[in-house]
Amino acid sequence: MTDGTTARGSARKVAAKSGRTASTGTAKSATAKSGTAKSGTAKSGTAKSVTAKSATAKSATAKSATAKSATAKSAKPRAARGRAHRKSLPPAPPAVAYQRLLAAYPDAHCELDFQSPFQLLVATILSAQCTDVRVNMVTPALFAAYPDANALAAARQEDVETLIHSTGFFRSKARNLIGMATALVERHGGQVPAGMDELVQLPGVGRKTANVILGNAFGKNEGVVVDTHVQRVTGRLGLSHGTDAVKIERELMAEFPRDDWTMLSHLMIFHGRRVCIARQPRCAGCTLNDICPSAPIFLART
């Protein structure tokens, strides 16, 4: 809003200047014509008048073009300008970023409460569009009512909906939880499988959820969990590009050693929740601010 106002103001100033210049040119022209009548140097006076008008017109055109260019620049959204600027800077060195975040959050871990792969799978399905804190408030009663896949597979949809209501999207989540439990009973003897291919076949389970289960319940680094925090922080660090989670995961898997994949997502999530927050990242106190391509952009706004 501020940019647009400035641009409009500049455009008005340019228009005003242009108007003044044109008047001056006309006056000069009149003088030249008058001089012509008296001295008889008509051709010379007319030529000067034409030249003056032409110069004034060129000047006005140039100023108008400058104003248009300024308007176009200001009209480009600030976020887009920030992304373009960030792309022009080198990304944070992955190994340095990882080590610094590890030093800052040595106990980074999955913040969902669970005691078995089944409980983690249930909690992760519930965490979609919901905070881990909220999920952790709901799961104790849910796990008490349905301690395993057999119990949850036999649950009534309304009863599950009531227990998970506060996590949002409770109807589809309840449907997915019962469907997932039923699939575990029918295909895997009631146990959570430890493979990506089997996990992503379960209702309500995508690659992100499967990565959470494999990394935290089975200690397997099959991929990198890309949630909203990982996407935002790695994007600001110049380590990932775009908004496609699968593409971002591929980029991160190429930049970091496999052994670090599970911890990498914990570190990015911890940092994204505490320092590199969505609206106003705390760059001044960030351990990465000297290597982060976004730091100069955000620091300039404060």
Q: Which residues are catalytic?
A: 208, 227
Using CA of residue 81, residue 274, residue 212, residue 96, what is the dihedral sign? positive
Least distance from C-beta 295 to ligand SF4, angstroms? 4
Smallest CA-to-CA distance from 184 within 213, 161, 159 is with 213
End-to-end CA distance of the chain: 18
| Per-residue CA distances from 34 to 26, 28, 45, 47, 53 (Å) | 12, 10, 9, 13, 16
Least distance from C-beta 272 to ligand SF4, angstroms? 8
Which one of the spans 27-35, 139-147, 148-156, 294-302 is the region binding ligand SF4 (CB under 6 A)? 294-302
Nearer to ligand SF4, 91 or 223 (CB): 91
CA distance 300 to 116: 47
Least distance from C-beta 270 to ligand SF4, angstroms? 12
Counting contacts by CB under 6 A, is residue 68 touching ligand SF4? no
The contact mask relative to ligand SF4 for 145-184 (x = CB under 6 A, - = no) is: ----------------------------------------
Under rule CB under 6 A, how many of the chain's residues touch ligand SF4? Answer: 15
Q: Which of 225, 236, 252, 256: binder of ligand SF4 (CB under 6 A)? A: 236
Q: Which of 116, 298, 300, 302: binder of ligand SF4 (CB under 6 A)? A: 298
DSSP string of 8-54, one letter each residue:
HHHHHHHHHHHHHHHHHHHHHHHHHHHHHHHHS-HHHHHHHHHHHHH
Nearer to ligand SF4, 64 or 289 (CB): 289
Counting contacts by CB under 6 A, is residue 294 touching ligand SF4? yes
Q: Which of 108, 164, 237, 263: binder of ligand SF4 (CB under 6 A)? A: 237
Least distance from C-beta 252 to ligand SF4, angstroms? 15
Nearer to ligand SF4, 180 or 237 (CB): 237
- Name every residue whose Cβ is closer than 8 Å to that of residue 164 and which is 6 or more positions away in sequence: 126, 138, 142, 170, 173, 174, 177
Nearer to ligand SF4, 71 or 289 (CB): 289
Nearer to ligand SF4, 215 or 281 (CB): 281
Counting contacts by CB under 6 A, is residue 104 touching ligand SF4? no
- Crossing angle for the helix pair 245-255 and 207-217, nearest 10 degrees? 40
Least distance from C-beta 293 to ligand SF4, angstroms? 8
Q: How many residues does the chain have?
A: 302
Least distance from C-beta 302 to ligand SF4, angstroms? 11
Task: Tell me the helices (H) and strands (E) count for the chain, helix number first.
Answer: 15, 0
Q: For residues 263-292, which are near ligand SF4 according to CB under 6 A?
A: 275-276, 281-283, 286, 288-289, 292
| Per-residue CA distances from 266 to 42, 132, 193, 259, 271 (Å) | 84, 13, 22, 13, 8
Smallest CA-to-CA distance from 128 within 213, 198, 226, 209 is with 209
Structure tokens at 28: 């000069």
Nearer to ligand SF4, 193 or 281 (CB): 281
| Per-residue CA distances from 61 to 6, 51, 253 (Å) | 20, 15, 52
Contact residues for ligand SF4 (CB under 6 A)?
233, 236-237, 275-276, 281-283, 286, 288-289, 292, 294-295, 298
